[in-house]
A = this chain, B = another copy of it.
Amino acid sequence: MIPDSLTQIQYDTVYNVFSLVIASQLFTSIFIIISLKRVLPRYRQAMTVAAIVCAIAAYHYFRIFDSFKAAFVTEAIGGAGNYVQVAGESFNEGYRYVDWLLTVPLLLLELIAVLALARKVQTSLLYRLIPASALMIILGYPGELSGDNGVRGIFGLLSTIPFAYILYVLFIELTKSLDRQPRSVRRTISQLRLLLLLTWGVYPIAYLLPMLGIDGSDAWVGKQIGYSVADILAKALYGLIIYRIARMKSFADDP
């Protein structure tokens, strides 16, 4: 699926978008860590997790960026030509799954932690959401590796089961607990869930593309941009909204 050749504009665009993700995740992480003291202790766990998630993403995008840079080369003066895959180096898409395996459970933990529900409810939610999310990623992986669209389809389907379950828990079960949240933050929490739905949806859609025959270097570049934008929204923006909720709840608890 990795294209043999990219035009300079394609190469530069992917290059700059990856660098944008690095900067976004890294500095969101640092911003959140510096701001930790501005919320009540009970919300710091959620914010720390948010910062760690962005830092993990920054780490993986550093590696993705270097992997991309090494994998495609040109011989044109000033880089003004086509970039082709080089001998001995590969663009390693696998980093994304490694990243998700760590960050997707943490994103759910972040959400639950910021709600500061009763201990029992919280534990019950986490004991179901975290294994489900790990399962979702692990099941998707063999499909991604396989060149065969049938295998891709089957594992995609299997992976969708825990995905659906996660959505069920977040959108049906959790809704009840929302009533106990301070009125002022309810809207923001709903926005957060919506953001989660919209951004997480990008990943299975991108997974579908090769099965729909959408291929070639344009599709690939589009997919990289899609992933990158989704990653910024699903981690950095998401983390900033977590911070906002933590601020609002801190104020509501201790005005």
Per-residue CB contact flags for chain A residues 80-113 toward chain B (1 = under 8 Å, else 0) read 1000011111111011011101100000000000
Chain B: CB-nearest residue to A91? B78
Minimum Cβ distance to chain B for residue A142 (Å) = 11
Contacting residues, chain B, for A34 (C-beta < 8 A): 33, 36, 48, 51
How many chain A residues touch the partner (CB < 8 A)?
58
Minimum Cβ distance to chain B for residue A134 (Å) = 13
Given contacts A16-B95, A24-B102, A95-B16, contact A88 B63 (CB under 8 A): no
Chain B: CB-nearest residue to A63? B19
Asked whether A98 lies within 8 Å of B52 as measured between CB atoms, the reply is no
Chain B: CB-nearest residue to A102? B23
Given contacts A2-B78, A34-B36, A94-B12, contact A20 B101 (CB under 8 A): yes
Tell me if A178 is interfacial: C-beta within 8 Å of chain B.
Answer: no
Asked whether A20 lies within 8 Å of B71 as measured between CB atoms, the reply is no
Contacting residues, chain B, for A118 (C-beta < 8 A): none
Tell me if A41 is interfacial: C-beta within 8 Å of chain B.
Answer: yes
Minimum Cβ distance to chain B for residue A255 (Å) = 14
- Provide the bound-state CA to CA distance between A88 and B83, in Å: 9
Tell me if A56 is interfacial: C-beta within 8 Å of chain B.
Answer: yes
- Provide the bound-state CA to CA distance between A105 and B181, in Å: 31
Contacting residues, chain B, for A56 (C-beta < 8 A): 23, 27
Contacting residues, chain B, for A33 (C-beta < 8 A): 34
Asked whether A12 lies within 8 Å of B44 as measured between CB atoms, the reply is no
- Provide the bound-state CA to CA distance between A48 and B30, in Å: 10
19 of the cross-chain contacts (CB-CB < 8 Å) are A8-B90, A9-B145, A15-B94, A16-B95, A16-B97, A19-B63, A23-B98, A23-B99, A27-B56, A27-B102, A30-B55, A34-B51, A38-B45, A73-B88, A74-B87, A76-B87, A79-B88, A79-B89, A79-B90
Interface residues of A (CB under 8 A from B): 2, 4, 8-9, 12, 15-16, 19-20, 22-24, 26-27, 30-31, 33-36, 38, 41, 44-45, 48-49, 51-52, 55-56, 59-60, 63, 71, 73-80, 85-92, 94-95, 97-99, 101-102, 145
